[in-house]
Amino acid sequence: MSTTLTIFATIFGLLVGSFLNALIYRLPRGINVAFPRSSCTECKKIISWYENIPIISYVFLKGRCSGCGTQISWQYPAIEFVAALFAFFIAPKTINSSDLLNFFFFFSVFSAFLVHLIVDLKHQILPDSINIYLALLFLVISLFTQVWTHWLIGGAIGLGFPLLVSWIFYQLKGEVGLGGGDIKLFGALGLYLGPIGIMQNIFLSCFLGALIGILLIATKLIKRENPIPFGPFIIIVAAFQIFAESSFKALISYIP
């Protein structure tokens, strides 16, 4: 029984992964998510259902469009694979212990994080729709599992603290430090992580961002004037806090 459920969860992960690919392409370009149907970016050939089967179609088509032969990015099967892998690993811990709601919660958060991560790396934006989706998801779950002070103060700190720091930074240097999308993401996360969790996220993601930024500049992998998207650092820390809660708490206890 548990094996069957894990297989179903993995197939579900593949299908959602395919949808996430559409979001990653469409959201930053402002294209409607539901319509029109997917087509080749080069020759505009409509992709039929059998050319849209996660991973399998990519292998079958040898990674090329059937119309014009243009190479299809490896990102498509990679996203599908990563989503399936996540579902595969969390299924035994959630579904099989008849915790279906937890499976969907974790998978939803993971999906939103994945879209945010790729879109921010490629386009330096965190789409509002994903931030709103996360905020609603976190608010609903916190309403049922936490006291109101947890999500209210957490959300207020997540939104207010980075906004204040940005404002001070702007007054001092005359330039915008944090993007609006980053601040909204902190606000959404605060609803779930609570006051302490969100402060840990803000400090750790800033620390991680500064560290990686200095390393990238020092090794000349990027130039100083090139902007580094900050979203991925927030997401990496948040993923650790949400999906590996006990390991995160163990790690944080080492920090004085």
Binding site for Zn ion (CB under 5 A): 40, 42-43, 45, 65, 67-68, 70
Least CB distance from residue 122 to Zn ion, whole Å? Answer: 21
Distance CA(141)–CA(143), nearest Å, equals 6
Least CB distance from residue 58 to Zn ion, whole Å? Answer: 14
Q: How crowded is the C-beta side of 72, counted as CA atoms within 13 Å?
A: 27
SS3 of residue 71 by DSSP: strand
Least CB distance from residue 61 to Zn ion, whole Å? Answer: 11
The count of other CB atoms within 10 Å of the CB of residue 171 is: 8
Distance CA(220)–CA(73), nearest Å, equals 27
Going 39 to 181 to 118 to 133, the CA torsion angle's sign is: negative
Residue 58 vs 233, nearer CB to Zn ion: 58
Residues ≥6 apart with Cβ < 8 Å to 16:
83, 87, 107, 111
Residue 66 vs 102, nearer CB to Zn ion: 66
Cβ contact 177:169 at 8 Å: yes
Least CB distance from residue 69 to Zn ion, whole Å? Answer: 7
Residue 75 vs 226, nearer CB to Zn ion: 75
Residue 70 vs 97, nearer CB to Zn ion: 70
Least CB distance from residue 65 to Zn ion, whole Å? Answer: 3
